[in-house]
């Protein structure tokens, strides 16, 4: 399933590369984010419906990988221990969206309403929680003219 508003970009548009240094320096990038959850199926539905992620499972593996439709980081859904508190972290997942208001309207129609639309320094953003209470934001900040 595709997300409501998709934009494909070259990685160099967002992460300008420096000149090679002769092989001694190793470049890295954030490739996966692990989320502990007690609601894997709800989390899969949320991230596939809103952001176009696709589910990938390996037989016998308890981690569910959600792969981004673009060059973004994958989400790894890991079953949480009974004692683990869910949704209490200092991390917010921010998804780049050019048309925040349009995305919010489409998300609301699909049953995933976001909070108020905020304006900040030439861009918009809106927030909500995923099914486990983790902070999620959609933002047009990366597309702002002053960025």
- In angstroms, the Cα distances linking 14 to 9, 58, 62, 87, 145 are 8, 31, 33, 28, 14
129 membership: H or E segment, kind and range: strand 123-129
How high is the mean pLDDT of the chain?
A: 81
Domain 30-80 belongs to what architecture? Roll (3.10)
Nearest C-alpha neighbor of 6 from the set 66, 69, 56: 69
Q: What is the mean pLDDT of residues 134-139?
A: 91
**CATH 3.10.180.10 domain position(s) in the chain:** 30-80
Higher pLDDT, 137 or 28: 137
Q: What would the pLDDT profile of 7-25 be if each residue is shown by its tens digit?
A: 433 334 433 444 444 444 5
- What are the start and end residues of each CATH 3.30.720 domain in the chain? 92-147
Average pLDDT over residues 50-71: 91
Q: Is the pLDDT of residue 69 over 60?
A: yes
Q: Tens digits of per-residue pLDDT, 88-106?
A: 766 789 999 999 999 999 9
Q: What per-residue confidence (pLDDT) applies to 90?
A: 64
- Specify the pTM: 0.68
Report how far apart, in Å, the C-alpha atoms of 90 and of each of 4, 69, 93, 133, 135 are.
27, 25, 10, 12, 9
What CATH class does 92-147 carry? alpha beta
20, 44 contact by CB (below 8 A): no
């Amino acid at each position: 399933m595709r997300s409501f508003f998709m934009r494909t970009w070259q990685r160099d548009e967002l992460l300008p590369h420096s000149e090679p240094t002769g092989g001694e320096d190793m470049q890295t990038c954030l490739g996966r984010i692990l989320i502990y959850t007690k609601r894997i199926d709800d989390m899969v539905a949320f991230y596939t419906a809103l952001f176009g992620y696709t589910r990938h499972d390996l037989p016998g593996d308890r981690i569910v990988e959600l792969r981004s439709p673009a060059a973004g980081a994958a989400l790894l859904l890991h079953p949480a221990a009974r004692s683990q508190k869910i949704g209490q972290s200092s991390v917010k997942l921010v998804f780049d969206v050019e048309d925040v208001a349009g995305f919010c309207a489409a998300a609301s129609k699909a049953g995933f309403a976001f909070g108020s639309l905020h304006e900040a320094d030439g861009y918009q953003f809106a927030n909500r929680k995923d099914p486990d209470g983790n902070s999620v934001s959609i933002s047009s900040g990366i597309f702002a003219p002053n960025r």
